[in-house]
């Protein structure tokens, strides 16, 4: 079976369980999970294919004339929701003094973030 994570799949029957299988997700009590990511689901989205696809950001189109479904790859979210600088105050690494990101407005710079996980 083709994996819709990387390609488009055309199928004549699409139940929520089939959508999950095609895309590598599985159901748990906390929602739909894949790898180390879980998406909370409503009871309606657990039993309705179109609601499930929307919750998981999966492209899904139904051609009613030919009675087939096209399951596309997952939509990728944009890395940044906006180009607006967040109103943050951080501690300077050298002195521990507060440093407001707003003080950089009008200046060029690079903001780097790192997390251990």
Query: What is the pLDDT of the chain when averaged over all its residues?
Result: 82
Q: Which range among 36-40, 69-73, 106-110 shows the weakest confidence by mean pLDDT? A: 106-110
Q: How confident is the model at residue 80 (pLDDT cuts 50, 70, 90)?
A: low
How does strand 37-39 pair with strand 68-74? Answer: unpaired
CB 3 within 8 A of CB 26: no
Which pLDDT belongs to residue 2? Answer: 46
Q: How confident is the model at residue 40 (pLDDT cuts 50, 70, 90)?
A: very high
Which of 83, 87, 85, 54 lies closest to 71, judged by CA?
54
Q: Structure pTM?
A: 0.58
Which pLDDT belongs to residue 81? Answer: 57
């Amino acid at each position: 079976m083709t994996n819709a994570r990387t390609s488009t799949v055309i199928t004549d029957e699409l139940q929520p369980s089939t959508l999950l299988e095609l895309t590598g997700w599985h159901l748990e009590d906390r929602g739909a999970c894949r790898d180390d990511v879980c998406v909370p689901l409503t009871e309606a989205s657990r039993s309705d294919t179109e609601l499930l696809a929307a919750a998981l950001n999966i492209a899904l189109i139904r051609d009613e004339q030919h009675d087939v479904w096209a399951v596309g790859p997952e939509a990728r979210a944009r890395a940044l929701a906006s180009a607006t600088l967040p109103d943050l105050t951080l501690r300077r690494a050298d002195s521990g003094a507060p440093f407001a990101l707003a003080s950089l407005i009008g200046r060029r710079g690079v903001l780097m973030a790192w997390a251990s996980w």
